[in-house]
Amino acid sequence: MILKPNIHDIKNIGYYLGKVLMGLAITMVIPIATALACREGNPCLDFVIGFVITLCFGLLLTALCRHTPHVAGEALRKTPLASPEQDLNWMQGMIVVALSWIGAMFLGAIPLFLGGHFVSYLDACFEAMSGLATTGLTLVQDLDHMSYAHNLWRHLIMFIGGQGIVIVALSFLVKGGSGAFRMYVGEARDEKILPNVVHTSRFIWLVSAVYLFLGTMALGLAGTLNGMKPANALFHGACIFMAAFDTGGFAPQSQNILYYHSFPFEIITVVLMILGAINFRLHYHVWMGNRKEIAKNIETVTLFITILLTFFVTAIGLNQLATYPAALTLFRKGFYQLVSGHTGTGFMTVYAPQLIKEWSPLALAGVIYAMGLGGAVCSTTGAIKMLRVGIIFKALVQDIKKIILPERAVIMQKFHHVQAAFLEDKQVRSVFFITLAYLLLYGFGALVGMWCGYPFLDSLFESTSASANVGLSCGITAVGMPSILKITYIFQMWIGRLEFLSIFTLIGFFVAAIKGK
Amino acid sequence: MSKRKAQSVWCGVRGIVIVLAWAAASASFCCAEPLSSTEIISQAARYDNATVTYTGEVIGEIMRRGAYCWMNTSDGKNALGIWVPVDMAKDITYTGSFKSMGDMIEVTGVVHRSCPQHGGDLDIHAEKIRKVQEGRLRQEKLNTEKLKYVFIAMGILGAIWILRRLLYR
């Protein structure tokens, strides 16, 4: 029997959703300050409007959905603020996460739309979801004349989304508890680094803040040496860092990384993309001095092997058409696009039409495979992810051993992920389920693309890029693409970033609300 | 006699027409008509190593690299990197940003589909630059409509705040 959600469920979801939206509103203070510092009047107004509307929603939800203690009269008046927060159960936690991302998309798009760089509000929503989900596909118009405040916001939402919107709220606005852990899991992070989930969130922020400083300085220095003014180089450095470490792929200029014409810039961004694609748990162990973990961990080993294999395929493909006659050029272009795709970043050093016109189908297939695989779990990347790919490989080896070895032989497959563990059937089943779900999602977007009249390979490329939160584009993503395709890609970016569970729970919640008793 | 003369005149005219047609055809391929960024990018193989003319607005920053500099130039569809000797770039006054419209320039230069000098980038090595239109600073007027919305939104926020206090008083 399906149970209908009750008012307690709705109030609890609404209350935490309100908290998350308040967290989002607070982050809008940063572009407001930037606009004031850069004397950008109208952009400042755009963000004040966005800030106030978001805060209104947050305050309204927390006020209306606040739990009042079951006391009456004088006693209630004496304890007006007593325990308004009640812990979330699994269903509520998942739904808060799913709705938070949708809410953040609609509200985060307000200042973008008001800035006048988007043809429609749908396009601004596309940009906001692309930023939050760290995808990097863009529908922005006239980016080269965008204000500092709006440009910073595009990258900031990438930074927030990469760490996790809920992580922002967990770190500063929500008390730690089992409910907090459920929201944390709902945001596709099933690994705790520290025993307390709030401490885990704060550690993730600490890691990101340290890298933000180092990355911005490195990119700022490279920019200055490449002929940019120091202040502008630092701004670009901060934006590019946020997009690289959070494997997003936006850039402050329309040419993306090609704007800089700089080899050092490319090297630094490759390092940042790989750092962003590594599990935060691994970062923690390396920070604690356990450097051997890098070489032993199943995720890093799998990442290394898959990068080599997919680059091999891409390089053969590029060689077929002799697009880049010199070997070094082939390596520089091929490897950059490949790593960008594999880590789910989406930075480009070629123009989008070049991918389709000058790269052979084999080279594109190599990049599509890489995009579909993704980075590590508990990182900022999307897609199937390295732990799952590694486990599938181990399960395959185990099954082959079962066939080859005598029936009586006891076969236990081990893998190392921070600690040694035995492969369990339950784990393998779960991994296969998520992998299958991703493959279906890639296929679904490709079908919609073909239905809209695009060729198969182009549709598959763009669909995989959206679902795996990559952001590489072969040219389909443009203002003129059909609205149905824009909505499909928004849906794919959302579901791909949250790894299905929260979305399935949300669907289940609506089904229960209609059919439940 | 007059017939022979007429024949020789006709031959001469025919020769001139052929030469002119050949010149027009080669000029149209090389540089006469300015190409758009979309044409250069989508037909990069066709224009590889060809001298073309491209017109666009200088955007971002002019990044100096020794005796040369990078000047990214946008025609509204895409921006292309132009590799320019520093001397040629000295007349550029404005570059496009939020606060300014950049100078419009006409570049005549060689397209490289995969430039061996610049890591395989698609770029243009400028041979000649002509400023077509001077850029300008953009005067930003405060949008009164937006200001009105700010006050309305502030009012709603205040009302919600009061409602909140009343609910849990």
Tens digits of per-residue pLDDT, A38-66? Answer: 999 999 999 999 999 999 999 999 888 87
d(CA A164, CA B43): 41
Q: Pick B164's closest partner by Cβ from A59, A258, A354.
A: A59
In this complex, do B70 and A45 lie within 8 Å of one another by their Cβ atoms?
no
Most confident of A44-58, A87-101, A365-379, B4-18: A44-58
d(CA A306, CA A404): 26
Q: How confident is the model at residue A177 (pLDDT cuts 50, 70, 90)?
A: low
B151 contacts B116 by C-beta, under 8 angstroms: no
Q: Provide the pLDDT for residue B169.
A: 66
DSSP string, A249-281: ---SSTTGGGGG--HHHHHHHHHHHHHHTS-HH
Residue A385 Ramachandran class (φ > 0 left, ψ -120 to 50 alpha, else beta): left
* Residue with the larger pLDDT of the pair A361 and A502: A361
Q: Provide the pLDDT for residue B73.
A: 96
In angstroms, the separation between the Cα of residue B3 and the nearest Cα of chain A is: 57
d(CA B92, CA A149): 26
Q: How confident is the model at residue B26 (pLDDT cuts 50, 70, 90)?
A: very low
Q: Which helix (H) or strand (E) holds A82?
A: none
A162 contacts A248 by C-beta, under 8 angstroms: yes
The burial of A20, by beta-carbon neighbours within 10 Å (0-12 exposed, 13-18 middle, 19 or more buried), is given as: buried
* 0.80 surpassed by pTM: yes
Cβ atoms within 10 A of the Cβ of A478, count? 11
Q: Region A476-502: what's the mean pLDDT?
A: 92
Q: Provide the pLDDT for residue A230.
A: 94
In angstroms, the separation between the Cα of residue B28 and the nearest Cα of chain A is: 24
Q: How confident is the model at residue A80 (pLDDT cuts 50, 70, 90)?
A: very low
- At A430-486, the pLDDT tens digits run 899 999 999 999 999 999 999 999 999 999 999 999 999 888 888 899 999 999 999
In this complex, do B120 and A329 lie within 8 Å of one another by their Cβ atoms?
yes
B135 contacts B57 by C-beta, under 8 angstroms: yes
Chain B, window 81-140: residues with a beta carbon less than 8 angstroms from a chain A beta carbon: 81, 96-98, 101, 113-114, 116, 118-123, 140
d(CA A461, CA A371): 9
**B111 beta partners:** B124
d(CA A13, CA A9): 6
Put simply, whether A225 touches B (Cβ < 8 Å) is no
Does residue A78 carry a pLDDT above 60? no
Pairing of strands A414-417, B79-85: unpaired
DSSP string, B37-89: HHHHHHTHHHHTT-EEEEEEEEBS--EEETTEEEEEEE-SS-EEEEEEEGGGG
Question: What's the DSSP call for residue A517?
Answer: -
Helix axes A483-498, A501-515, angle to 10 degrees: 110
Helices and strands (H, E) in chain A, number of each type: 23, 2
In this complex, do B146 and A46 lie within 8 Å of one another by their Cβ atoms?
yes
> Residue A146 corresponds to which amino acid?
M
Cβ atoms within 10 A of the Cβ of B163, count? 14
- At A95-146, the pLDDT tens digits run 888 899 999 999 999 999 999 999 999 999 999 999 999 898 999 999 999 9
Cβ atoms within 10 A of the Cβ of A72, count? 9
